[in-house]
Amino acid sequence: MDLKGKRIVILGGTSGIGLAIARKVEGEGASVVIASSSQAKVDRAKSQLSGAAEGFTVDLTQEESIRSCFGRIGAFDHLVYTAGEPLLSEPIETLSLERAQDFFGIRFWGSFLAVKHGAPHIRTGGSIVLSSGMASRRSRKGWSMISSVCGASEALTRALAVELAPLRVNLVCPGLVRTELWDGMPAEAREAMYKRAEQSLLVGRPGEADELAEAYVYLMKNGFSTGQIVVVDGGASVG
């Protein structure tokens, strides 16, 4: 199965791994639809893609906005979900229930609603690829919500693969990757984190967005893969 002539919707496709996926699939002859909450981000991402790329704004915390967006998009072949706000790292003793619930908004409930309203528009032979993170396997102090939402997304993927069959549903679990996700950290702390990765990861460095994009493309193209969690972590889970 190849992607030539396919139409691929990427929610979270305006930066980081999502934008890398958009570039990758365009290179394989697919047409791309990206969506984000910010029109400025959509316009900036489109300027880095081909002139045929489409862009939409959507509020991934609101069901009606998601339903309306897919109504405007129409039929397509593959849905990719990489959207997510900056990571929430906070000790449970100070973490409010409201902040904890809000963290699930885009990363979990947004993907749930994207599948709910996007799946009916996916053509026969298409697929869905969701996202989690290595916190589902290796947590740290203060990561109760990060680990929880990653684990929940993986469980949701397996359940949806059963419920929506024969539509394929898979998920990519990235390790530490150099993306805008970490821009909220002080530059010194961010570089120290990357330096630690050079010493601790089996591959000797953090990942790059283009490398993760390859995993999403693989899952779109492999028609015999469903309900799978593909870990791309530089060896973090075994090292």
Question: What is the DSSP annotation of 66-134?
Answer: HHHHHHHH--EEEEEE---PSP----TTT--HHHHHHHHIIIIIIHHHHHHHHGGGEEEEEEEEEE--G
More confident residue, 11 or 193: 11
DSSP state of 135: G
Residue-level pLDDT at 84 = 86
Residue-level pLDDT at 162 = 98
pLDDT-derived band of residue 115, with 50, 70 and 90 as boundaries?
very high
**Separation between Cα atoms, residue 167 and residue 226, nearest integer Å:** 8
**Separation between Cα atoms, residue 38 and residue 60, nearest integer Å:** 11
Classify each residue of 183-202 as buried b or exposed e, where b means 16 or more C-beta atoms within 10 Å of its C-beta: eeeeeeeeeeeeeebeeebe
In terms of Cα–Cα distance, which of 39, 63, 42 is closest to 54? 42
DSSP state of 57: E
Q: Which residues have C-beta within 8 Å of that of residue 36, sequence separation ≥ 6?
A: 12, 13, 14, 42, 45, 55, 57, 58, 83
Tell me which of 3.40.50.10790, 3.40.1350.10, 3.40.50.720, 3.40.50.300 is the CATH number of domain 7-181+208-232: 3.40.50.720
157: number of CA atoms within 13 Å, CB side? 27
Residue among 132, 136, 144, 153 flagged as catalytic: 132
The answer, yes or no, to whether residue 184 has pLDDT greater than 80, is no
**pLDDT digits 0-9 by tens, 10-35:** 999 999 999 999 999 999 999 999 99
Helices (H) and strands (E) in the chain, counts: 8, 9
The answer to whether 132 is a known catalytic residue is yes
Residue-level pLDDT at 221 = 98
Task: Please give the average per-residue pLDDT across 109-124, as a whole number.
Answer: 98
More confident residue, 187 or 82: 82
**pLDDT digits 0-9 by tens, 160-181:** 999 999 999 999 999 999 887 7
Task: Please give the average per-residue pLDDT across 60-66, as a whole number.
Answer: 97
The answer, yes or no, to whether residue 86 has pLDDT greater than 80, is no
Residue-level pLDDT at 228 = 98
Residue-level pLDDT at 137 = 87
